[in-house]
Amino acid sequence: MLSIHLIYPEYISDYVEMGVDLFLVPGELSAYTTRHLDVNEISSLKKAYPDKQFFVLVNGLYEQHELKQLQDYLKTLTTTGIDGLVFQDFGVLYEVKKNHYPFKLLYESMTLNTNHETLNALHHYGIDMAMVSREIPLTEQLSINDNAQLPLMIQVHGVSYMGSSKRHLLKHYGEALKKTMADEVYEIIANGSDYPCYIFEDERGTTIYSKKKIYMLDLLSHLKDFDYLYIETLFMDAHETLEVISMYADCLQALKNGRYAQYVKDYLPMLKKVSQPLERGFIEDKTIYHLEDVKRRDAGEQV
């Protein structure tokens, strides 16, 4: 099934027509997103498309003083008819189970879903689905999917989350620089690096995403056993979003009718034009962490 981050709800009829089945919907308590829909908007979407799945992003890490607001919000969401929640704070899981709310729970910890045993353990505690980490090789993503006992989602296209802080890092920097940092989004590039990132701030703090978008259009045949393929539409304009979804939807259809190879050949050059800059992320790249491996790699040796 194809799923997307619903940044442009005004285009939902197009997305549905292209075959998107599940929408991750940014709500009032969502984190790491640039759009926030209110409860009425969410409710209307579900009413208009009752056969589609809507999962609201309740994906922040919530502080104690926000707990009441979170509890009230979850209760309100029960009136919208939505299908589920995307979460990472186990306080959300606890509240949903305690109150027997009818939401499916998609565990998206942004970075932590890197083995199947953890997901199976959490399945026992009440999660229904999970997003596999982006920061591991494809072979590991596939291994997790083979061994996990719950439906999994994998990001196939779009920018990657890199970090989030409670601090207002742009505001603080502006104060230090004695400049107003008024833009919605900035770009940063680390000195000595050629890897650009988006950075933006909201009331929850600061969030950093890669500017480069991972793409897996030509790898969909490997991913056919995943239950959900996800397109991150953040930092795409409406046109790019439509084009990208359309290409993935067509290629998925082509997989079924045996014409996938031809579609990839035709679409991949188009994708590279429409959705820039692209990268493979960690698909073929393993991270290291032992000090000895770091030293060996820095010395130019094979790790």
Partner 1 sequence: MNKFKKPELLAPAGNLEKLKTAIIYGADAVFVGGKEFSLRSAASNFSLEDIQEAVAFANDYGARIHVTCNIILHEDNLEGLREYLKQLDDIGVTAVIVADPYIMTIVKEMGLSLEVHVSTQMSVMNTSAINFFKDMGCERVVLARETSFADLKTIRQECPDIELEYFIHGAMCVNYSGRCMLSNYFSRRDANRGGCSQSCRWYYDIYDQKGQVNEVDGLKFSMSSKDMCLIDHIGELIDLGVDSFKIEGRMKSLHYIATVVSTYRKFIDDYCENKEKVLSLNYKKELNKAANRAFCEGFYNGQTTVDSQLYNLRDEHPTQEFIMRVLDYDEATQIATIEQRNYFKVGDEVEIFSPYHDNLNFIVTSIVNADGEAVEVANHPMEVLKVYTGKRVNRNDMGRKVKHEK
List binders of partner 1 among 57-116 (CB under 8 A).
61-67, 70, 88-95, 98, 109-112, 114-116
> Residue from 47, 125, 221, 224 that binds partner 1 (CB under 8 A)?
125
Query: Restricting to residues 149-178, which ones interact with partner 1 according to CB under 8 A?
Result: 160-169, 171-173, 175-177
Name the residue nearer to partner 1 (CB basis): 157 or 204. 204
Burial 265-295 (b: 16+ CB within 10 A, else e): eebbeebeebbeebbebbbeeeeeeeeeeee
The Cα-based distances of 27 to 34, 58, 74, 143, 253 in angstroms read 10, 7, 11, 33, 31
Rounded CA-CA distance 151/24 in Å is 16
Name the residue nearer to partner 1 (CB basis): 11 or 200. 200
> Residue from 219, 238, 261, 288 that binds partner 1 (CB under 8 A)?
288
Q: Is 34 in the site for partner 1 (CB under 8 A)?
A: no
- Within 64-168, residue ranges assigned H as helices are 67-77, 90-98, 116-124, 138-147
Q: Is 294 in the site for partner 1 (CB under 8 A)?
A: yes
| Contact letters for partner 1, residues 213-252 (x by CB under 8 A) | ----------------------------------------
Name the residue nearer to partner 1 (CB basis): 148 or 217. 148
Q: Is 302 in the site for partner 1 (CB under 8 A)?
A: no
Question: Cis bond leading into 151, ω under 30°?
Answer: no
Element containing residue 212 per DSSP (H, E): strand 205-215
**Hey, is 88 helix, strand or coil?**
coil
Q: Is 285 in the site for partner 1 (CB under 8 A)?
A: yes
